[in-house]
Amino acid sequence: MARSLAGFLVFSLFVSICGAASLFQPISDSHRSAALELFTPDHGSFKSLEETYEALRTFEVLGIEKKPDVTASACRSISETLGSPSSTPKDLFYALKANSIAKCRINEKTSEGIITKLNAAVGGANSLLDFYYSVGGLVLIKDQTSRADVHLADTEGVFRSVKAFSQSDGRWRYSSNNPESSAFAAGIALETLAGIISLASSEIDQSLINTLKNDISKLFDSIEKYDDGSLYFDDKLVDGREYQGPLSTTSSVVRGLTAFAAVTAGSLNLPGDKILGLAKFFLGIEAPGDAKDFFNQIDSLACLENNRVSIPLILSLPSSVLSLTKKDSLKVRVNTVLGSNAPPLTVKLVGAYSSGSKDTSLVETQDLKFEAGTGVHILNNLPKTIDVGSYTFVFEIVLHESEHEKIYVTGSQTKVPIFVTGLIKIENAEIVLDNDLGNVEAQKKLDLAGQNAVSLSANHLQKLRLSFQLTTPRGHAFKPHQALLKLRHESKIEHIFVVGNPGKKFEIVLDFLQLVDKFFYLSGRYDIELAVGDAVMENSLLQAIGHVELDLPEPPEKAPRPPAQPVDPYSRYGPKAEIEHIFRAPDKRPPKELSLAFLGLTILPLLGFLVGLLRLGVNLKNFPTKAAPALFGILFHVGIGAVLLLYVFFWLKLDLFQTLKLLGFLGVFLVFVGHRILSHLAGTSSKLKSA
């Protein structure tokens, strides 16, 4: 139970600190480590050019230097795809995407063939994805070759063909035959239209651009929001084949939005807070475990890092837990989503609110000091009004130059959960044993910061009183999350009581007369433990105080019985006790001389056999003279000798099972060689008779 009680205190601390989960952090080294784990080539290459591009793009954005070298295999695959007459516009699109990073050489003849093929694909396109791959391929080949004449023949016509897939709510369809629309398709459409604008030989009708900007505003009207301020897009298709998750959908919109903003003049009239909310959505995911999702996250953040709409700045804290005892400073960082340095700015602490009261700020507005060497904004000393506890600090970012306000977005105010911890002073702790008349019969001072070994004796007519005071480093009374007193009987039955806080001190009174039923009338020794814990209490304790010998009356007939104690799994499935067995006395054996006499009798037949051989003499007249039969004859006699030797080992060393096993092998051997030699002798005998 002590283990479970301590676990409960740790769990409470964990749950409390997890309230800071809404604190967003820019891309860090953990993302770089995750990228190397997720994008691992198989035998020096990836499965497809699409995966190759996603891996190379991720490594490029994160600035990973020690990355797998797949350039040679990538260039070989790119060259084969670009030079193959059977390559589809999608194949060419991802080959050119991968080549935009791999920088493989493309000859002029191949480039001309690709341009011709993609222009033909644009003319025959009848779906959004057809336009996306063919137009995107032309944009890529234009950037990778020295030719400047890569243009679309009928730019406005192609623009209107793609625009025909748009819907009134800002979403887009994949084709005219598909009535379902989605935000994911809207992102693809915006990226495609951005490519059409960049391939135009003359300026496109501004009314078309303005209509598209209006569609973007309608699309952002359907954006969804989490409680932490992050924004995302999600499609509501339940059974649709083209359904994508929130991460893929939001990533598609961000890519399309930033691509369109890069090729058009003027503002898109999108609030900066929405761009900041999108950045928070991607950063709040941390590091996805899927390679595709990870690429979508990193690529989208790279698009937000460099865009013409608004570049989001992220306020983060190296630590949201500050210690009053250690005199920790409040440190704040402001970076872009990829961790780059922010422009000159000031971070202001405009408010601090206790978790119990969020109406009145505990601090006055003050600027944090900026350290240029570390890029950190610091508040060295926390205000005296800040004591141990959980707070919500409110920060505001002020850019120094007005021009930067058109480029960067910081949000109005940023709320950050902060935990202030410290050592809690425990004093005036005592345990008292008195009776109904209030007479003190035993009183012990306790040192809850050290060791205690209190030994008390009591009966059912007495009371046990425990009291102590808790004080914060600022000198205020402190009320922890848990203050529990536990009594454990020698039979392992435990009783837990909540220590109350009626005033400035914590106190609990156990009236044993009122507790006899709860204690099941069990007399004996009760160990006493005190647990005091809180998320902001650096010296939380779970301490044994001592024990009390209780003398309770005999239980009445209908008294409650103690519950059955749970079986310890270690004792149930652990090693069992050793079994001691007494064997019966061995039977009485015959004298040694008699045993030797019977041994001699068993040997007599063998001796008779040997004597008979000597009397008859050895006859080798019929022994074969040819090599093969002679070899089988020798092996047969050796086998007979081996069987006789096996009998000797059976008597001296081997048991019956070992002997039978070896005898089986020898028997098979003897049958084989014996059959061969006997066959030879029978054949020789028949030849002699016929002669």
Q: Please report, for the domain that includes residue 224, its CATH number.
A: 1.50.10.20
User: Do 141 and 177 belong to one domain?
Assistant: no
pLDDT in tens, 600-655: 888 888 788 778 877 776 666 677 778 888 888 889 889 988 998 998 889 888 88
Q: Which of 388, 406, 421 is the last residue of a domain?
A: 421
Model confidence band, residue 243 (pLDDT cutoffs 50, 70, 90): low
In angstroms, the CA 418 to CA 668 distance is: 86
User: Do 265 and 165 belong to one domain?
Assistant: yes
pLDDT in tens, 43-80: 888 999 999 999 999 999 999 988 888 989 999 999 99
Average pLDDT score over residue span 274-281 = 95
**Residue 344: inside a domain, yes or no?**
yes
User: Do 440 and 495 belong to one domain?
Assistant: yes
CB 548 within 8 A of CB 456: yes
User: Do 37 and 81 belong to one domain?
Assistant: yes
Q: Which of 278, 309, 340 is the last residue of a domain?
A: 309
**Residue 655: inside a domain, yes or no?**
yes
Model confidence band, residue 17 (pLDDT cutoffs 50, 70, 90): very low
State how far Cα 452 lies from the chain centre: 42
User: Do 521 and 471 belong to one domain?
Assistant: yes
**Counted domains in the chain:** 5
| CATH of residue 323 | 2.60.40.10
**Residue 634: inside a domain, yes or no?**
yes
The candidate with the shortest Cα–Cα distance to 89, out of 137, 126, 143, is 137
User: Do 342 and 434 belong to one domain?
Assistant: no
For Cα atoms 50, 52, 56, give the angle at the middle one, nearest 5 degrees: 120
Average pLDDT score over residue span 586-595 = 85
Q: E-assigned strands of 478-540?
A: 482-489, 494-498, 506-511, 524-533
Q: Comparing 360 with 368, which gets the higher pLDDT? A: 368
Q: Which segment of 29-43, 244-258, 325-339, 576-590 scores lowest on mean pLDDT? A: 576-590
Please give the pLDDT value at position 522. 94
State how far Cα 195 lies from the chain centre: 39
Longest Cα separation, the chain = 135
E strand or H helix at 211, and its extent?
Answer: helix 206-221
User: By residue range, what is the domain housing residue 646?
Assistant: 625-691
E strand or H helix at 471, and its extent?
Answer: strand 462-471
Average pLDDT score over residue span 668-679 = 89
Please give the pLDDT value at position 691. 59
Alpha-carbon dihedral sign for residues 156, 159, 160, 161: positive
Please give the pLDDT value at position 15. 39
**Residue 591: inside a domain, yes or no?**
no
Structure tokens at 13: 């601390």
Q: Comparing 614 with 664, which gets the higher pLDDT? A: 664
In angstroms, the CA 144 to CA 141 distance is: 5
**Residue 568: inside a domain, yes or no?**
no
Please give the pLDDT value at position 8. 40
Model confidence band, residue 339 (pLDDT cutoffs 50, 70, 90): very high
pLDDT in tens, 550-582: 999 999 988 888 888 777 777 777 777 788 888
| Residue 242 pLDDT > 70 | no
Average pLDDT score over residue span 653-673 = 91
pTM over 0.95, yes/no: no
Other Cβ atoms within 10 Å of 181 Cβ, number: 21
pLDDT in tens, 89-121: 999 999 999 999 999 998 888 888 999 999 999
**Residue 409: inside a domain, yes or no?**
yes
Q: Which segment of 51-60, 217-226, 236-245 scores lowest on mean pLDDT? A: 236-245
What residue type is 518 in one-letter code?
A: K
Average pLDDT score over residue span 157-177 = 92
Model confidence band, residue 9 (pLDDT cutoffs 50, 70, 90): very low
Total length of the chain: 691
In angstroms, the CA 636 to CA 333 distance is: 94
CB 216 within 8 A of CB 10: no
3-state secondary structure at position 656: helix
User: Do 408 and 461 belong to one domain?
Assistant: no
Please give the pLDDT value at position 16. 40
Please give the pLDDT value at position 74. 93
Across the chain, mean pLDDT equals 88
| Residue 7 pLDDT > 60 | no
Model confidence band, residue 21 (pLDDT cutoffs 50, 70, 90): very low
Q: What is the 3 state secondary structure string of 42-89?
A: ECCECCCHHHHHHHHHHHHHHCCCCCCCCHHHHHHHHHHHHHCCCCCH
User: Do 377 and 279 belong to one domain?
Assistant: no
Average pLDDT score over residue span 216-235 = 93
In angstroms, the CA 259 to CA 193 distance is: 9
Q: What is the 3 state secondary structure string of 13-33?
A: HHHHHHHHHHCCCCCCHHHHH
Structure tokens at 28: 């860090």
500 strand-pairing partners: 507
State how far Cα 510 lies from the chain centre: 47
User: Do 345 and 267 belong to one domain?
Assistant: no
User: Do 444 and 355 belong to one domain?
Assistant: no
Please give the pLDDT value at position 575. 76
pLDDT in tens, 405-452: 999 999 889 999 999 999 999 999 999 999 877 788 899 999 998 889
Model confidence band, residue 148 (pLDDT cutoffs 50, 70, 90): low
Q: Which of 532, 555, 578 is the last residue of a domain?
A: 555
Residue 505 DSSP symbol: S
User: Do 172 and 296 belong to one domain?
Assistant: yes
The candidate with the shortest Cα–Cα distance to 635, out of 664, 678, 687, 686, is 678
3-state secondary structure at position 409: strand
**Residue 611: inside a domain, yes or no?**
no
User: Do 51 and 140 belong to one domain?
Assistant: yes
**Residue 137: inside a domain, yes or no?**
yes
Model confidence band, residue 585 (pLDDT cutoffs 50, 70, 90): confident
